[in-house]
């Protein structure tokens, strides 16, 4: 017999390393002990208390991939995904705050920041500063590169003028990654990315949106009126902002996939418990096969969403191509979250329709998963482009 050595069996995607399990468990505990008691109040008051954000910094979940030397946890992108999932299981608003910080802002700086920018901003982002990411405008959403915000080159600084809309974390943030164009005639090749501090002259936060879901997460307009940004705060190269936007959003949408997995799981956990407690016709409703089959369907959808999301995150960490997988994860997980949260409201019957029970909030919170960081149609466009191997 030839000496055959069988290849080592690949681990299941959901198999966590010791470090990953410990980190996940710590965040799960934090979400249960510190976040859950505040969820309903945060939703009603439409704000996240600063003390809770500070607790996130203390836990080390605001600088997950930031290296040790800059005060971060020096962990992986996959860890960020685990954190976002665990937080979203309890509260999708806090999850998106942490998600934007890690997958968009820290990521953009880690990838494109100069050594000087990293040493100026990463320690702050790991310890006290919330970050925000500002691409969208009133007239440019899916067509993001039609943005109108202007950046005038004044030699040692740029002057930014325009408005940004829908900016997550804007109420709390100290640092904003802002996309503006140095020359609209150059189309997407004019788009440039800037690191804008809240205290820069000419920078203001505008109207805060009153939303259907993730109500505690702040979503505001930014008003830039000749906002003075030092030249050394250009992130990457002038005219290469479009690349930063595309590439950070490719990664960011894995985070939204994780948020949707968490929302679906959190809602399902409630549905599962309730189905075993609620008695009708003299027995728990979970005794009825129709309810059992529904729970089985929902569990399968959550599992599939998690596998797609973990796969995309693990591909990203290994340096493999993940664009198609990331878009598929967000597409599928956001649809699954819509279905799961809707069905859990039905499992609760009339009680599910009231604010006294937690499940209507999951139903409201999931909807944004099909809108931000690229709508469902935009994910389908990305996937189609990848599978057809051509530009749309
Ligand atoms: C709560 C919240 C938080 C957000 N946070 C941020 C943030 O932090 N930073 C940021 O920059 N932006 C943020 N956004 C903005 C978000 O990314 C945009 O809302 C999203 O990209 C969609 O853009 P739009 O709202 O202009 O919709 P539109 O682009 O006008 O789309 C409307 C509809 O038309 C469809 N559509 C458009 N073009 C096409 C096409 N070519 N083919 C097929 N269908 C098409 C869309 O799929 C959608 O269904 C946030 C939005 C929300 C709601």
pLDDT one-digit tens code per residue, 9-48: 578 999 999 999 999 999 999 999 999 999 999 999 999 9
Structure tokens at 44: 């009603």
d(CA 332, CA 254): 11
Atom of ligand 1 at shortest range from CA of 169: 8
Examine the residue annotation and report whether 373 is marked as an active-site residue of this protein: yes
Centre of ligand 1 to C-alpha 147, Å, is 13
Look at phi and psi of residue 192 and say left if phi exceeds 0, alpha if psi is from -120 to 50, else beta. Answer: beta
pLDDT score of 389: 87
pLDDT score of 6: 52
Q: Are 325 and 387 in contact (CB under 8 A)?
A: no
pLDDT score of 10: 77
d(CA 320, CA 276): 43
d(CA 34, CA 337): 24
E strands, the chain, are 131-134, 150-153, 157-168, 175-181, 191-197, 203-208, 219-230, 234-235, 279-280, 283-284
Centre of ligand 1 to C-alpha 355, Å, is 28
Measured by CA distance, the residue closest to atom 16 of ligand 1 is: 372
**Distance in angstroms between the alpha carbons of the first and the last residue of the chain:** 53
Residue bearing tokens 């995607």 = 13
Q: What is the CA radius of gyration of the chain?
A: 22
pLDDT score of 9: 58
pLDDT score of 125: 98
User: Could you tell which of 191, 375, 385 is best to mutate to test the pocket of ligand 1, judged by most ligand atoms within 8 Å of the CB?
Assistant: 375
State which residues of the chain have pLDDT below 50. Answer: 1-4, 391-392
Measured by CA distance, the residue closest to atom 12 of ligand 1 is: 136
Centre of ligand 1 to C-alpha 378, Å, is 9
Question: pTM for the whole thing?
Answer: 0.97
| Helix or strand holding residue 25 (H, E) | helix 18-30
């Amino acid at each position: 017999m030839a000496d055959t050595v069988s290849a080592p069996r690949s681990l299941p995607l959901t198999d966590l390393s010791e470090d990953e399990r410990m980190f996940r468990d710590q965040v799960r505990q934090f979400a249960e002990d510190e976040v859950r008691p505040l969820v309903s109040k945060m939703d009603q008051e439409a704000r996240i208390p600063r003390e809770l954000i500070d607790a996130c910094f203390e836990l080390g979940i605001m600088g997950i991939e930031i290296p040790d030397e800059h005060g971060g946890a020096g962990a992986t992108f996959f860890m960020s995904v685990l954190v976002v999932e665990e937080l979203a299981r309890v509260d999708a608003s806090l999850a998106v705050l942490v998600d934007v910080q890690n997958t968009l802002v820290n990521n953009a700086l880690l990838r494109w920041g100069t050594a000087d920018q990293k040493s100026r901003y990463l320690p702050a982002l790991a310890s006290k500063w919330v970050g925000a990411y500002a691409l969208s405008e009133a007239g440019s959403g899916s067509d993001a590169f039609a943005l109108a915000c202007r950046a005038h080159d004044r030699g040692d600084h740029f002057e930014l003028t325009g408005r940004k809309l829908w900016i997550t974390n804007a109420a709390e943030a100290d640092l904003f990654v802002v996309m503006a164009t140095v020359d609209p005639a150059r189309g997407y090749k004019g788009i440039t990315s800037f690191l804008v501090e809240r205290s820069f002259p000419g920078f203001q936060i505008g109207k805060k949106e009153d939303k259907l879901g993730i109500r505690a997460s702040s979503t505001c307009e930014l008003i830039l009126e000749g906002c003075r940004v030092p030249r050394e705060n250009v992130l990457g190269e002038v005219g290469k902002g479009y690349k930063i936007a595309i590439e950070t959003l490719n990664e960011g949408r894995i985070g939204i996939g994780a948020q949707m997995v968490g929302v679906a799981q959190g809602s399902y956990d409630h549905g599962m418990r309730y189905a075993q407690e609620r008695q009708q016709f003299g027995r728990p409703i979970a005794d009825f096969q129709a309810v059992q089959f529904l729970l089985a369907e929902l569990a399968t959808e959550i599992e599939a969403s998690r596998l797609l999301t973990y796969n995309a995150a693990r591909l990203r960490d290994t340096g493999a191509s993940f664009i198609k997988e990331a878009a598929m994860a967000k597409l599928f997980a956001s649809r699954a979250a819509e279905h799961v949260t809707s069905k859990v409201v039905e499992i609760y019957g009339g009680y599910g329709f009231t604010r006294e029970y937690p499940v209507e909030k999951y139903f409201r919170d999931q909807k944004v998963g099909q809108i931000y960081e690229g709508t469902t149609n935009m994910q389908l466009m990305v996937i189609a482009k990848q599978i057809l191997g051509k530009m749309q």
